[in-house]
Structure 1
C-alpha cells in the first residue's frame, strides 16, 4: 500500500527536480477534506523552499488507506528522496503538522479540542431597548416593494407569508426570538426566493426563508467561526466595529441570526445579543470575509428599510434586467489599520499597525494616542522601550527588542499573544503577571531562564527552537496548560518533531516509517 502510493510521488519529485539537486523534501497533510503540499529541493548545498509537485491523487489514496487502517484523518507526512531513488517516508496522524504560511518548523497539537476564547464572549451586554418597530417596518417594506415595482414596471413575485405558527417553530429551533420588525416582514413573505430565483431585496443579498435561516443557524450552532489552525490563530485579533462596543468582538456568535446572504459565504444578520452600546435587533455583516470582526450596518431592520427607501428616492440605484442594485455611500468596513511608518498624527481610532523593515530604532511613544490599538507588529524592525505599550489595549504584539526589558508588560491586562525577538538576553519574569497571555513565541529571543514559563497561568501556545525545548524539558518546566507547541527550527525534520511530541506526552510509537529505493524509468537508478 505504502510503496504503491510512494512510487509515483518519488517519480514526480525526480521529474520536476532542478539540475544539480541532491535531495527533495515533501511535506503534506492529507485527509477527507483534501491535501496540502509544501517542500523544496536542495541544490548545490542550498535548500530551495519551492517547486515540489502536488501528487494529489496519490496523497489522497495514502490518506484514505491510513484512515481505514489506523483511523487517522488527516495524516501528516514527510517524504525525503534522492536522485538515486532512495526515499524515507514518515507518517503520523494530524497531531503533528508542518507549519504553513510564513512560519517554519512543526506544530504539535496536545489538545485538539481547545480553541482560543473570543474577546466578545466576555464583553458587557447591552441593556438598551430594540430600535426596530414592527408597524413602521411592515409599512416601509410594502412601500419599498411598491417603489421597486414602479422602477421595474411590474411587481416582483414573492413567496406566501409565513404563518405565526411557523415563525414560532423557527424561533424554537433557533433558540432565539426574532426581532419584532423582522418577524413582521416574514408575515408578509417567507423570504424573497421562488424556487431557486431570488429577488435580492436586501442590497444584493437574498432574503432567506425561515427554513433556510434555521439551516444556516444549525451550521453555525456552536457560535464559532471556522478554526484555521494554530499558525494563523495563535496571535490573531478580532477587531471592534464602529461605533465601538455595539457588536461583540467575535468571528461568529450564536446570537447572530443570518437572514440574508450574497451566496458567497457572507451574510446580513440580526444581532440578538449586542455589546454594551448596541441594541437588540441591530443589523451586522458577518461570515467568510469577517473573521476579524463583524461590521455594523444599522440599528434595526426598520432603519435599514428606511435607508433603502431614501436611496430609491435619491435615484441611487442601477437597474439591470429584473434586478435593482442600491448604491449606498462607499465606506471602508475594515478596522482602521496602518502598514508602514507611524504617521505624524496617529488617529485615535487606529486598531492595527504593521511597522515593516525600519533601519532606525522605532519610538512607540506616538502610538499612545491610539487608545483602541489592538495589534502592534514590528516586522524586521526594532525598538528599545516598551513603556508606551503599558497603557495601550494591545492584544497581539510582535517586535525585536534591543537594550530594553519586559517590565512595561508586567500586569498588562489585555496582552494575549507575544512574538519576541531580542538582541540581548531578556528576563521573562514580568510575564508572570500578564494573566491574559495565551500565545508566546520566543524562538528568536535570548532567554537565559526559560523555567519562568511554568509560572504563566494560562499559556496555551508556545514556540521555541529545539535547543530551547530541550532546556525547558530537561528542567521539567513545561507550562501545564499548553494546547499546542511549535518546534520553530527551519531545518527541523518530522522525526525531530515526533521526538518533541513524545517528550510532551503524545504517544508516537505507532508513527509509520518506511524506506526504500525506487528505480527510475531507465532502470539504472539515475535521475
Structure 2
C-alpha cells in the first residue's frame, strides 16, 4: 500500500487538478488547494456538466472518485485522518505538491490549507467552558413534581411495559456518579426503554415516546451534559458568553454536572432534568439542549410530572437576544468601538467596516475583555492591543500579526489565536506566520512535505 508521501499515490489526482486549472497553474505564483479525509474531500477538480435534461451520474465523476479513493487508502494505511495540500507549478516548470500537517497545536480550518485556531496553551478551553453552575439558595422542586402521579399515569398509558429493576437503576447511578431524581426513577420503574424488550417493534417504541413525550433513552444511555459533552472549536467558542439573567429559569451555561440527559426530541435536541436551575427555576425541571447552539438550554416543563401528565411540548425560545457582554462592530451592527464599551464586555468582534480604521482605546483596561476578533484592516493601530491585558483569544489579519510580532507585542496572556484570512492569499506565508506564533509558546509546529510530480509534458 502506497504512503500518503509517495507521489505515485497522488499522480491521478495531480493530473486531474492540472487539467482543471492549467491556466491558473501556469501563471506566476498560481496554485490550488484542497483537503481529503477518510470520509469526505474538497479537491479543485472541474466536474463535467451533464447533457441537458440529464442529471449528473456517478460515472461522470468516476475519475475524481477513483483518484481520491487512492489517497484515502494511503491515509488509512498511514493511520492518518486527513491531509491538506497545495499544488503549484514552480518557475522552472516542475509540479510541486505541498502536503500540510497542522499537528496537535492547530484546530482544523475551513478553507484548506488555511488553519483554525492555534492552540497556544495545551488543553486550554475558553472561559464559558470553564464556567460551573452557581448555587441558587432555596431552589426546590416545582409543586407539580409528583413521582407517584407520574408512575400511575405512565402505567395507565403503558400497561405492558417492562420496567427497570432497582439493581438496574442503582447500576446507572453508579456509572453516572449521581443519585437519580425520584421522578426519573419512577419513569424507569415503568419502562426501561430497551429495544430488546420491544422485539424491534417500532410501534411499541412509538407508544413509549408518545407516553413520555420524547425518545426515551435506556438507562445505559443516560449521561451528564457537562461541558465535555458540548465541544466547540476555539474560533466559535471564544465568541460565546455564559450569561444568566436574574430571573432566568435555566442558567446560561455550556453544560452542567446537574444536567441529566434522558431523551431526545427526534431531531438531535436533548431532553434533560436540570438539578442546577437558574434563579427563577425549579430543581428537577425539564430542559431542552438545542444541538444548534453552543451554550444555554430552554425550559420545557417545571417537572417531569408536568411534562408527561400535561404533555408539555412548547420549549423553543429562539436565539438569545443582544447583551452588553458580547459586542459586534460592523456595517450591520454597532457603529464603533465606543458603542461597544461596557464594564462587563467579554467579547469584541470587529467585522466588515467601511469607515476609517478603529481605535481600541475605548476598551483598553476593561477587566473582563477576553476575546478580540478583528477583520484585516479594521484597526488603526494594532499595538493598542497591548492595553487589553486580559485577552485569552485574539484573531487578526496577517498584517496586524506582523506588527505585533515586529514589536514583540504579542499578548502572552493568550491561550489561543487565529489568523483571519480574507480574499485570495498565498497559503505558505500564512503557514509560516502561524509557526512563528506557535514558536513563541514552544508548541508543536506545522510541518510541510513537498513532493515533485513528474507528469510528463508540461510537468
Normalized against structure 1, the TM-score is what? 0.67
Q: How does 1:352-367 map to 2 (within 5 A)?
A: none
2-structure distance, mates of 1:443, 1:491: 14
After superposition, the CA RMSD in angstroms is 3.9
1:397 and 2:328 are equivalent in the alignment: yes
Q: How does 1:16-27 map to 2 (within 5 A)?
A: 16-17=20-21, 22=26, 23=30, 25-27=32-34
Give the counterpart of 1:115 among 91, 101, 125: 125
Indicate the SS of the match to 1:430. Answer: helix
How many angstroms does 1:443 deviate by?
3.0
How many angstroms does 1:500 deviate by?
0.8
How many angstroms does 1:295 deviate by?
1.7
Counterpart in 2 of 1:77?
85
1:476 and 2:413 are equivalent in the alignment: no
Q: Say if 2:35 and 2:84, in contact at 8 Å, map to a contact too.
A: yes
Counterpart in 2 of 1:390?
none
1-structure distance, mates of 2:263, 2:237: 28
| Runs of 4+ residues over 6 Å off in structure 1 | 18-21, 238-241, 401-404
CA pair 439-514 structure 1, distance change in 2 beyond 3 A: farther
1-structure distance, mates of 2:317, 2:268: 17
2-structure distance, mates of 1:167, 1:97: 40
Indicate the SS of the match to 1:143. Answer: helix
Counterpart in 1 of 2:100?
91
Q: Say if 1:396 and 1:416, in contact at 8 Å, map to a contact too.
A: yes
How many angstroms does 1:416 deviate by?
1.5
Cα deviations by residue, 1:426-446 (Å, 9 ceiling, x for unpaired): 322232223333332333444
1-structure distance, mates of 2:42, 2:184: 46
1:131 and 2:133 are equivalent in the alignment: no
1:11 and 2:15 are equivalent in the alignment: yes
1:495 and 2:428 are equivalent in the alignment: yes
CA pair 77-454 structure 1, distance change in 2 beyond 3 A: farther
Cα deviations by residue, 1:190-236 (Å, 9 ceiling, x for unpaired): 346524542214555232232222xx44xx56544032x34443434
Could you tell me which runs of 5 or more consecutive residues in structure 1 were left unpaired when the two chains were aligned. 42-50, 149-154, 312-327, 337-350, 352-372, 375-392
Give the counterpart of 1:57 among 46, 57, 69: 69
Q: Say if 2:395 and 2:418, in contact at 8 Å, map to a contact too.
A: yes
1:423 and 2:355 are equivalent in the alignment: yes
Give the counterpart of 2:307 among 284, 304, 309: 304
Counterpart in 1 of 2:220?
211
CA pair 212-510 structure 1, distance change in 2 beyond 3 A: closer
Could you tell me which runs of 5 or more consecutive residues in structure 2 were left unpaired when the two chains were aligned. 47-60
1-structure distance, mates of 2:263, 2:446: 50
CA pair 258-20 structure 1, distance change in 2 beyond 3 A: closer
Q: Say if 1:239 and 1:335, in contact at 8 Å, map to a contact too.
A: no
How many angstroms does 1:40 deviate by?
8.2
Cα deviations by residue, 1:374-397 (Å, 9 ceiling, x for unpaired): 3xxxxxxxxxxxxxxxxxx24141
2-structure distance, mates of 1:477, 1:40: 42
Cα deviations by residue, 1:278-297 (Å, 9 ceiling, x for unpaired): 21100011253443532210
CA pair 59-461 structure 1, distance change in 2 beyond 3 A: farther
Q: Name which structure has the greater RCO, CA cutoff 8 Å, separation 6+.
A: 2
CA pair 137-66 structure 1, distance change in 2 beyond 3 A: same
Q: How does 1:511-526 map to 2 (within 5 A)?
A: 511-519=448-456, 524-525=457-458
Indicate the SS of the match to 1:200. Answer: helix
CA pair 27-115 structure 1, distance change in 2 beyond 3 A: farther
1-structure distance, mates of 2:307, 2:333: 52
Normalized against structure 2, the TM-score is what? 0.76
Q: Say if 2:254 and 2:294, in contact at 8 Å, map to a contact too.
A: yes
CA pair 132-73 structure 1, distance change in 2 beyond 3 A: farther
Q: Say if 1:120 and 1:249, in contact at 8 Å, map to a contact too.
A: no
> Which has the larger strand fraction?
1
For these two proteins, the number of residue pairs brought into alignment is: 418
Cα deviations by residue, 1:115-135 (Å, 9 ceiling, x for unpaired): 22328935643331112677x
CA pair 394-189 structure 1, distance change in 2 beyond 3 A: same
CA pair 486-237 structure 1, distance change in 2 beyond 3 A: same
Q: How does 1:117-266 map to 2 (within 5 A)?
A: 117-118=127-128, 121=131, 124-127=134-137, 128-131=139-142, 136-146=146-156, 148=157, 156-163=159-166, 165-191=167-193, 193=195, 194-195=197-198, 196-197=200-201, 198=205, 199-201=208-210, 205-213=214-222, 216-217=223-224, 223-227=228-232, 229-236=233-240, 245-262=248-265, 264-266=267-269
Indicate the SS of the match to 1:433. Answer: coil
How many angstroms does 1:403 deviate by?
12
Indicate the SS of the match to 1:185. Answer: helix
Q: Say if 1:5 and 1:61, in contact at 8 Å, map to a contact too.
A: no
2-structure distance, mates of 1:404, 1:211: 52
